[in-house]
Amino acid sequence: MTGFICIMTETLPAGLLPEIAQGLQVSPALAGQTVTAYAAGSLTAAIPLTLATARWRRRRVLLATILGFLLFNTLTALSSSYALTLVARFAAGAAAGLAWSLLAGYARRLVVPRLQGRAMAIAMIGTPVALSLGVPLGTWLGGLLGWRLAFACMSALTLGLIVWVLAKVPDYPGQTEGQRLPLRQVFATPGIRAILGVVFTWMLAHNLLYTYIAPFVALAGLGDQVDRVLLTFG
């Protein structure tokens, strides 16, 4: 569910770009920078926040990221200022960067070793569900009731998730000093730089199209069917 909210928060503006642009009184190109700001927050904050919270108990870190989504999605829903919206989106991206650094390892610790691969797969299933179903649904809802309400619904989901985590998710200690690998050693691991390069390139190309898909398909006369286009895309 945390992964689902990460991706929904990131990509929801893609389906609501014309409405957001109109609501904030900016061009669609500038409205698309709400996704850029989110990505910039994830990119710049992931490593520093992960290192800063490495010793914290794991549930505390998970709840901190979820609370970040609650706060900054609510701020996005209420903001009438373009600059403030960009700040909120950047901060939401920072929360996502911390969440992605946490989820796979947390899932592995919940199960015995032979089930760790399956646990990681289940923990990451929120990504394809959000892209294939969540964002089209959010686009449809935003078109029906307004883009601000779509972000408010994200905050409501987040509140439910906080209760769920407190009730059901076990806690684990953070890393000790001896368990931490130096960052240089991580980047020197064979294959890591190639994988990061491929992921960065693919995500850049995908997000450029995904973010501006609403004005793009409008050129083909499909501006009123963005939700269906996103469903097909997903």
Both tokens of 110, joined, read 């919940």
Contacts of 89 (CB under 8 A, 6+ apart): 34, 35, 37, 38, 41, 72, 76
Alpha-carbon distance of 193 to 213, in angstroms, equals 30
* Residue 228, domain CATH: 1.20.1250.20
Give the percent of the chain with pLDDT over 70. 99
Number of domains in the chain: 1
| Sign of the Cα pseudo-torsion (43, 48, 54, 60, in order) | negative
Both tokens of 19, joined, read 């409405």
Q: Which domain holds residue 59?
A: 2-233
Dihedrals φ, ψ of 57, to 5°? Answer: -65, 145
| Averaged pLDDT, 154-174 | 94
The string of pLDDT tens digits covering residues 77-113 is: 999 999 999 999 999 999 999 999 999 999 999 999 9
Q: Which long-range contacts (CB under 8 A, 24 or more apart) does 10-13 make?
A: 10/35, 10/38, 10/39, 10/42, 10/93, 10/96, 11/35, 11/130, 11/131, 11/135, 11/210, 11/211, 12/135, 12/138, 12/139, 12/142, 12/150, 12/151, 12/154, 13/147, 13/211
At 148, is the pLDDT very low, low, confident or very high (cuts 50, 70, 90)? very high
Instruction: Supply the DSSP symbol for 189.
Output: S
